[in-house]
């Protein structure tokens, strides 16, 4: 039987093959997913049809409302702490001094950090101290223009509130693409009310302010398949702090689990590890810092090489360190329980796991608890890990025609996570907004305010931790640490019992010590004494 006219091969009645005009002679090209396709699970719930301008989407305004409400709450909490005198030199004044110097086109010099004793090791006290010798955080410079508008530490608190809240937007997009719209709103609410976020905004200012937004952008752009965007976000993350290279190394390891991202992931892993090594052992020493300043791992060894060797040779003993003391388990449980431990099933948790291990293996008690800002680096990987896991569960159920379950299971998880997270608000700093006593000034700070008119502007002054933020825009402020060398002006609170003092007796003993060396009392009020030594230079240039 002849082939039909124009057909290169006969028509097959057996196989039912239609006439071929040559277009199907060669195998089809390998399937390439759309550029915006997710490497995880992409189940968009958008209604197909006529395209809608993005600015007309009701979701834009709904998510913006969540961000505005959250930022307002964060700002109120931070500003109340500043106004009532419970903010601190560590770390608000430290960053205020450095970023003010950025705004004046100088390096990030912070006299407060140079004169502050910080465990595990103390530095030689100096007022000419660059923050690059402490941590490699050049991203802080982007906040310098705020000081051209308003010369106040309140700038940093406002910027932090907005940056932290803004992370809800890429997180919402990430979740909606994987789980749907309802789950996306619930997850956004979970994030803005979470304990790690509350601890960040309840602890002055820190470079962690940039972490949630940039990590959320990186995770969302990874999900969207945009490698160039991932690189840009990763560069921003590296500039947050030197150990964020470990975070990126963990992210690179996570990418090895996704087809089409393995070579890219290997490059990210190597780049992240290289950044941490270069920043710690090259850039910090160039700025006058000690690369081992924060090395506090006596169980592992005196340096990185010995620590890696110990971990490889004694993996069981290393794992035991995560449970001793018990507060480490409490911190881990507090992070995972609100998310029902679901994130542990996702590779996207690996970056957070490396940063968590960095803290738990150390010997500094502040690293072990959830009382500080450290968990702010972990919250986005935790939530995205949970979303990733539920996304795969949703896809699994949908493939087996459990359509109803595939819709309800992610929503059930997101609802439970939001409910559990909201239930923890009474235990986190956001609850302070409900306390009547938090609406008034701290009595000890009010007593210190009486001495302010007797203190000249632009002088070097040594003050208690909680007094520094009120003076940093007019004076060069350092911490009253109870020992010399002392500033020309010293303000002493004789009732001070907190760090760096052991008790009030130590604070009271400072006054006769100063008067014996030539200091004169300028003001004496309710448990507050202001002293001055006329023979010491202390003018702020």
> Rounded mean pLDDT of 246-253?
98
pLDDT in the model for residue 116: 83
Tell whether 368 and 486 lie within a shared domain.
no
pLDDT in the model for residue 39: 38
Answer yes or no: is 2 within a domain.
no
Tell whether 402 and 494 lie within a shared domain.
no
Q: Tell me: the pLDDT tens digits for 74-118?
A: 999 999 999 999 999 988 999 999 999 999 999 999 999 998 876
Q: Tell me: the pLDDT tens digits for 280-322?
A: 999 999 999 989 888 999 999 998 889 999 999 999 999 999 9
Tell whether 322 and 411 lie within a shared domain.
yes
pLDDT in the model for residue 21: 53
Is 80 exceeded by the pLDDT of residue 24?
A: no
Tell whether 258 and 197 lie within a shared domain.
yes
Tell whether 149 and 263 lie within a shared domain.
yes
Q: What distance separates the 2 farthest-apart alpha carbons in the chain?
A: 119
**Residue 444 vs residues 437, 490, 504: alpha-carbon distances, Å:** 14, 16, 13
pLDDT in the model for residue 31: 43
pLDDT in the model for residue 124: 74
Tell whether 285 and 386 lie within a shared domain.
yes
Tell whether 143 and 292 lie within a shared domain.
yes
pLDDT in the model for residue 479: 93
Answer yes or no: is 351 within a domain.
yes
How many structural domains is the chain composed of?
A: 2
Q: Which phi and psi angles does 531 have, rounded to 5°?
A: -120, 155
Q: Tell me: the pLDDT tens digits for 434-451?
A: 999 999 999 999 999 999
Tell whether 367 and 220 lie within a shared domain.
yes
pLDDT in the model for residue 404: 94
Q: Tell me: the pLDDT tens digits for 465-495?
A: 999 999 999 999 999 888 888 999 999 999 8
Unique residue bearing structure tokens 């909490």:
77
Percentage of residues of the chain with pLDDT beyond 70? 88
pLDDT in the model for residue 6: 45
Lowest-pLDDT range of 53-57, 207-211, 257-261, 345-349: 53-57
Answer yes or no: is 11 within a domain.
no
Tell whether 423 and 494 lie within a shared domain.
no
Is 50 exceeded by the pLDDT of residue 355?
A: yes
Tell whether 361 and 458 lie within a shared domain.
no
Domain boundary among the residues 434, 453, 474 is at 434
Range of the domain at 83: 57-434
Domain boundary among the residues 368, 403, 434 is at 434
Is 50 exceeded by the pLDDT of residue 38?
A: no
Tell whether 264 and 153 lie within a shared domain.
yes
Answer yes or no: is 3 within a domain.
no
Answer yes or no: is 35 within a domain.
no
Is 70 exceeded by the pLDDT of residue 45?
A: no
Domain boundary among the residues 434, 465, 481 is at 434
**Residue 136 vs residues 237, 250, 379: alpha-carbon distances, Å:** 12, 19, 22
Tell whether 367 and 245 lie within a shared domain.
yes
Exposed (0-12), middle (13-18) or buried (19+): which is 442, by Cβ within 10 Å?
A: middle
């Amino acid at each position: 039987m002849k082939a039909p006219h124009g057909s290169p091969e006969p028509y097959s009645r057996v196989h039912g093959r239609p006439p071929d005009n040559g277009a199907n002679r060669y195998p089809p090209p390998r399937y390439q997913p759309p550029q915006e396709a997710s490497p995880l699970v992409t189940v968009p719930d958008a209604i197909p049809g006529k395209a809608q301008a993005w600015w007309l989407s009701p979701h834009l305004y709904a998510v913006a409302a969540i961000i505005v409400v959250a930022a307002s709450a964060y700002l109120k909490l931070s500003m109340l702490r500043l106004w009532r005198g419970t903010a601190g030199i560590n770390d608000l004044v430290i960053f205020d001094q450095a970023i003010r110097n950025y705004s004046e086109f100088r390096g990030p010099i912070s006299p407060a950090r140079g004169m502050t004793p910080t465990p595990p090791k103390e530095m030689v006290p100096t007022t000419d101290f660059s923050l690059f010798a402490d941590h490699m955080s050049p991203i802080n410079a982007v906040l310098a223009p705020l000081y051209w508008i308003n010369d106040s530490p309140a700038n940093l608190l406002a910027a932090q509130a907005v940056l932290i809240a803004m992370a809800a937007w890429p997180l919402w997009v990430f979740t909606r693409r994987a789980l749907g719209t309802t789950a996306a709103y619930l997850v956004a609410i979970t994030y803005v009310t979470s304990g790690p976020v509350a601890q960040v905004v309840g602890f002055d200012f820190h470079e962690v302010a940039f972490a949630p937004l940039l990590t959320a952008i990186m995770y969302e752009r990874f999900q969207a398949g945009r490698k160039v965007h991932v690189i840009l976000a990763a560069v921003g993350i590296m500039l947050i702090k030197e150990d964020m290279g470990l975070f990126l190394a963990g992210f690179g390891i996570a990418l090895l689990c996704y087809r089409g991202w393995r070579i890219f992931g290997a490059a990210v892993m190597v780049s992240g590890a290289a950044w941490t090594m270069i920043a710690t052992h090259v850039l910090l020493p160039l700025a006058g810092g000690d690369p081992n300043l924060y090395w506090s791992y006596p169980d592992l060894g005196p340096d990185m090489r010995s620590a890696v060797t110990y971990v490889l040779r004694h993996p069981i003993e290393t794992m035991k360190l995560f449970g001793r003391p018990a507060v480490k388990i409490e911190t881990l449980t507090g992070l995972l329980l609100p998310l029902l431990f679901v994130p542990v099933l996702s590779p996207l948790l690996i970056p957070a796991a490396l940063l968590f291990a960095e803290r738990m293996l150390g010997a500094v008690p502040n690293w072990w608890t959830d009382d500080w800002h450290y968990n702010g680096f972990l919250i986005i990987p935790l939530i995205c890990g949970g979303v990733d896991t539920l996304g795969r569960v949703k896809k699994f159920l949908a493939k087996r025609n459990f359509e109803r379950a595939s819709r309800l299971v992610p929503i059930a998880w997101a609802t439970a996570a939001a409910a559990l997270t909201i239930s923890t608000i009474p235990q986190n700093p956001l609850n302070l907004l409900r306390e009547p006593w938090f609406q008034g000034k701290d009595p000890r700070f009010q007593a210190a305010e009486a001495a302010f008119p007797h203190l000249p502007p632009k002088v070097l002054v040594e003050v208690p931790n909680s007094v520094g933020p009120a003076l940093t825009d007019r004076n060069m402020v350092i911490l009253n640490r109870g020992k010399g060398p002392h500033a020309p002006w010293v303000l002493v609170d004789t009732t001070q019992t907190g760090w760096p003092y052991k008790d009030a007796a130590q604070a009271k003993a400072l006054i006769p010590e100063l008067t014996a060396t030539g200091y004169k009392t300028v003001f004496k009020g309710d448990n507050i004494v202001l002293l001055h030594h006329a023979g010491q230079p202390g003018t702020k240039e």
